[in-house]
Structure 1
Amino acid sequence: MFLFEVKRIVVVLFGALLGALSLNLFLISAKVYASGFTGVAQLTSSIMNDFLGIEGVSTGILLFILNIPVAILGWFKVGKGFTIYSAISVAATSVFLEIIPVVQLSEDIILNAVFGGLIAGIGVGFTLKWGASTGGLDIIAMVLSRMKDRPIGSFFMVINGIIIALAGIIYEPENALYTLVTLYVTTRVIDAIHTRHEKVTAMIVTREADRLQKAIHDTMVRGITILPARGAYTKEDKDMMVLVITRYELYDLERIIKEVDPNAFTNVVQTTGIFGFFRRND
């Protein structure tokens, strides 16, 4: 499991590096904006520099500041493991944005929009695939989706729509259109790398239901149903734990099961919809 965690941290750092490269080499110089909190930080930095005369506040610093309250929210409402890796991603992205110089590789805004979106999408896709996120909007969307019982995608669309509208109003309408191109490319690449199922259902057959339940609740805020089960061949009495989790938490669940009961049998299926809340009520 130590090797698995090291690999996940390496992937998160690699994704953060790609996100910083997409901004500093393509998007910032072209006034084309990324999605989520990265785009908010990028747009805020441009406004402070171009209209308020405040220089020296970079996209990386703003991205880090914006994610501090969101990280606190995610710690209590989403899950500790997910928030820790998201915080690592945000911190690494902020550092890379400060280290890598902002240069203009091409004056063609279309090339900047397409390649910026492509590189950012690869970084986000692999980060999601390994059970982490780029922070910010991911955490907010997950919390709001539970409160309002609406798909996560709708909240992504609202915030990204605001970024596109502001880019067109404050600068030029063309900037909004090119930002839309970047967001489209990023989304397509993410979908190609990581199948974005919002929720999955895990059914765990185990002899260690009590220990496993405690370990899961120490890491995740999820409700669990425990049912009696019996092996058809061995006639041995066991328990089956049923819980619904988000796709981000699947890697944490796998780690917990391997640590507590390596002999447990787990079946994970895609969940197309749920009714009611699926978090633990204390």
Structure 2
Amino acid sequence: MLWLQTQKIIIVVAGAFLNALGMNLFLIPANIYSSGVAGIAQLLSKVLSDHTPIHVSMGLLLLLLNIPVAILGWMKVGRSFTVYSFLSVALSSLFLELIPVKQVSHDILLNAVFGGVIVAAGVGITLKWGASTGGLDIIAMVLSRLKDKPIGPYMFVLNSIIIVTAGFLYGAEKALYTLVFLYTSTRVVDAIHTRHAKLTAFIITKKADEMKKAIHAKLVRGITMIQGKGAFTNESREIMMIVITRYELFDLERIIKDVDPKAFTNIIQTTGVYGFFRRE
């Protein structure tokens, strides 16, 4: 368990570093705006510097804006997830202060694409290991749980506000290249992690009772037990069906690996859930 937590912290540190690297070397020098709370912090820092005598660094604003979000996440999403997510935010803020802002390329399109790839790589590996980079991820999760709807529309609306504001203040071209960044980063995150909000896992194992206890100890999810038989061996097997959110995938994978490494698991997209689905 200690080694697993150490690995997770290492991944969170690496993700935060990549996030800050993409911002300071590609997005900030080109005035291309990130998504989520990072984009809000970047835009607010730019507006304050350009239109007032006040200068507040993006790293500090990112940390301050995420404090109320972390409190909300602690209350509504989950403590472990929120702790690692806020650690990611704090480290990103630190790296944003330590890494110098330097323009690697004068081509704005290259900045949008490479910035998107690097930032998304940091976000993707963080999500894959059961945390997030904070901000709108947590807000969208809370909003989606209120009505049990996909988080995509909420993320789209919140990011659209950033894009429209950037276009209004600094020209349509900046807004369009921000869209290029968003498209690139979204595709990379999808490739590393998964874009599906809910997933269904079918687990075929000889250790169904142990698996059930381990899952219930970690995840607050119902499990449906199905009797199965191998077509080739004619051996009886228990098939466990469980619906989870994408943020719980990391924990489920670790449970299966610990209890029965030989279990056959099929993870599929869930387009909709009707009936009771626990949201806490």
Which residue in the other structure is 2:182 paired with? 183
Which residue in the other structure is 2:167 paired with? 168
Which residue in the other structure is 1:28 paired with? 28
Cα distance in 1, alignment partners of residues 165 and 261 from structure 2:
54
Cα distance in 2, alignment partners of residues 180 and 226 from structure 1:
42
Which residue in the other structure is 2:152 paired with? 153
Matches within 5 A, 1:66-215: 66-202=65-201, 206-208=208-210, 211-212=213-214, 215=217
Matches within 5 A, 1:256-271: 256=255, 261=259, 267-270=265-268, 271=270
Secondary structure of residue in 2 paired with 1:28: helix
Deviation at 1:161, TM superposition (A): 0.8
Contact 1:202/1:266 (<8 A) preserved: no
Counterpart amino acid of residue 46 in structure 2: S
Cα distance in 2, alignment partners of residues 138 and 14 from structure 1:
19
The alignment-based identity, stated in percent, is: 56
Counterpart amino acid of residue 46 in structure 1: K
Cα distance in 1, alignment partners of residues 46 and 255 from structure 2:
44
The count of corresponding residues between Structure 1 and Structure 2 is: 273
Cα distance in 1, alignment partners of residues 120 and 4 from structure 2:
23
TM-score by length of 1: 0.84
Contact 1:26/1:113 (<8 A) preserved: yes
Deviation at 1:162, TM superposition (A): 0.7
Cα distance in 1, alignment partners of residues 134 and 267 from structure 2:
26
- Return 166-175 or 98-107, whichever deviates more: 98-107
Q: How has the CA–CA distance of structure 1 residues 265 and 112 changed in structure 2, closer, same or farther, with 3 Å as cutoff? A: closer
Which residue in the other structure is 1:224 paired with? 222
Cα distance in 2, alignment partners of residues 118 and 225 from structure 1:
37
Deviation at 1:225, TM superposition (A): 4.4
Residues 34-74 of structure 1, C-alpha deviation per residue, up to 9 Å, x if partnerless? Answer: 1111101101111111112211x111111111111211222
Cα distance in 2, alignment partners of residues 112 and 130 from structure 1:
27
- Return 29-38 or 121-130, whichever deviates more: 121-130
1:272 aligns with 2:271: yes
**Structure 2 unaligned runs (5+)?**
none
Cα distance in 2, alignment partners of residues 163 and 235 from structure 1:
55
- Return 105-114 or 63-72, whichever deviates more: 105-114
Cα distance in 1, alignment partners of residues 266 and 86 from structure 2:
27
Deviation at 1:256, TM superposition (A): 4.7
Contact 1:86/1:132 (<8 A) preserved: yes
Secondary structure of residue in 2 paired with 1:269: strand
Contact 2:145/2:279 (<8 A) preserved: no
Cα distance in 1, alignment partners of residues 147 and 186 from structure 2:
24
Which residue in the other structure is 2:3 paired with? 3
Q: How has the CA–CA distance of structure 1 residues 125 and 79 changed in structure 2, closer, same or farther, with 3 Å as cutoff? A: same
Which residue in the other structure is 2:19 paired with? 19
Deviation at 1:12, TM superposition (A): 1.7
Cα distance in 1, alignment partners of residues 88 and 246 from structure 2:
17
Counterpart amino acid of residue 208 in structure 2: T
Which residue in the other structure is 2:244 paired with? 245
Secondary structure of residue in 1 paired with 2:30: coil
Cα distance in 1, alignment partners of residues 215 and 13 from structure 2:
31
Cα distance in 2, alignment partners of residues 114 and 31 from structure 1:
13
